[in-house]
Structure 1
Amino acid sequence: MISIYSILGLLGAYLFGSIPTAVWIGEAFYGIDVREYGSGNAGATNTFRVLGKKAGIAVMLIDIFKGWTATNLAYLIGLSVTGPQTSAQFINYQLALGITAVMGHLFPVFAGFRGGKGIATLFGMILAVHFQAAMICVLIFLVVLILFKYVSLGSIAAGFAFPLSIVFVFHSPYRSVLLYGMCICVLILVTHQKNIERLLKGKESKVNIFKKTAS
């Protein structure tokens, strides 16, 4: 049963997701809108590229926190998780909150509906829903990034690692989590379409995480 509190929770999740971290940090501390440079996205990767590591790390952590916080709003709604059926309902509501937050990041009301690709916010959501699977995603992302130096390729690989780990490693009893994982794969492919085209053409920008930048 949908209550007014459930609807308010979804609204709160969207507003959390809509916080344009990259845009606000760029304008407040650097006097520029990151969407006018680099890839044109208001996300952590483009912030790293345009503003450097300090700003990029700050944006990434806050965007992860956005997804984690929005997903955990389920605990404030007061849903019971005392039985298998209610546990499934709780997980489903968490997923709904997280997806709404990601939509807020993609289409932020506070920044003219021009946001980022939602990877960090997605990760925050995965952290809240399934911490162990999230850690596998981190491992896959880092391995791909270190080996190939493509953030986009690491993000795509990590996104596909989530549903695979849910099925073959953790054997989650919740079908909605698996369905969500499959939706993640589709979303990542859609939002990274241009990156995939550049990867195929060998024109995607590489990132060396061990390279020291001048202070």
Structure 2
Amino acid sequence: MTPTAAILVSALGGYLSGSLPFGYWAGKLKGIDIRQHGSGNIGATNVIRVLGKGIGIPVFILDALKGWLPAWLAGVWVAQQGAAQEIISAAAVVAGLAAVLGHMFTFWLSFKGGKGVATTAGVLLGIAPLAMLGGLIVWLLFFFTTRYVSLASMMAGVGVVATMATVMGRNGQWDLVMLGFGILIMGLVIVRHRSNISRLLAGTESKAGRKKA
């Protein structure tokens, strides 16, 4: 298989994996459409707010796994094809990005999905664990100081890119594909939080621990 074909197959597999709307299905198991409750989002944060941690945490884990699995599998599979390291990295990044886009624009729900935070975390765990750790530290810092999940999630994206750049700079090895992936993901996460940004500016954004009708 040619490198181009391998990357295209990785992208398709990543999108199909990422498109699985676990939050929506969890709501259906409870007899509700999660899109009509809370913030209307199918992601784990809204599931926790509406259905509780007992359901929301498993949804978060599944959303993360559907990002981690295709990125990891793509790297392993392309490596078995005897491809160069650059192609292996590209396949993993493309599969991970496709998984995030699949979550954000799932064909199961007319291409309207979640904001991609958990899925992005899963992808980063598979291809850039130090960057994920940096993003997690930033997320925890902003979450526990502000109690705004949305703000913490957006700042975590910034933390991921900053960590990538710092590690690459210290090692003197710049991986522009990986850094570009981080920047793109950061931008996508911020864009998907447009409504949250408006509510933050208006002072109407819900804080963690407060149930939304």
TM-score by length of 2: 0.89
| 1:89 aligned partner, one-letter code | I
CA distance in 2, matches of 1:138, 1:170: 18
CA distance in 2, matches of 1:206, 1:121: 22
Residue 15 of structure 1 is matched in structure 2 by 16
Cα gap change, 1:82 to 1:170, in 2 (>3 Å): farther
The count of residues paired between Structure 1 and Structure 2 equals 207
Please give the per-residue CA displacement for 1:51-79, whole angstroms capped at 9, x wherever unaligned: 11111101100000010001112134333
SS across alignment from 1:9: helix
The offset of 1:81, in angstroms, is 9.7
Residue 189 of structure 2 is matched in structure 1 by 188
Report the aligned-residue RMSD: 2.1
Cα gap change, 1:88 to 1:80, in 2 (>3 Å): farther
SS across alignment from 1:46: helix
- The answer as to whether partners of 2:161 and 2:183 remain within 8 angstroms in 1 is yes
- The answer as to whether partners of 2:66 and 2:119 remain within 8 angstroms in 1 is yes
Which structure's relative contact order is higher, taking Cα pairs within 8 Å and 6+ residues apart?
A: 2
The offset of 1:80, in angstroms, is 6.0
SS across alignment from 2:79: coil
CA distance in 2, matches of 1:142, 1:8: 35
Please give the per-residue CA displacement for 1:162-184, whole angstroms capped at 9, x wherever unaligned: 11111123435311111111112
| 1:50 aligned partner, one-letter code | V
Q: Gapped runs of 5+ residues in structure 1?
A: none
Q: Gapped runs of 5+ residues in structure 2?
A: none
Residue 25 of structure 1 is matched in structure 2 by 26
Report sequence identity in percent.
36
The offset of 1:185, in angstroms, is 2.0
CA distance in 1, matches of 2:196, 2:147: 13
CA distance in 1, matches of 2:165, 2:75: 26
CA distance in 2, matches of 1:76, 1:129: 11
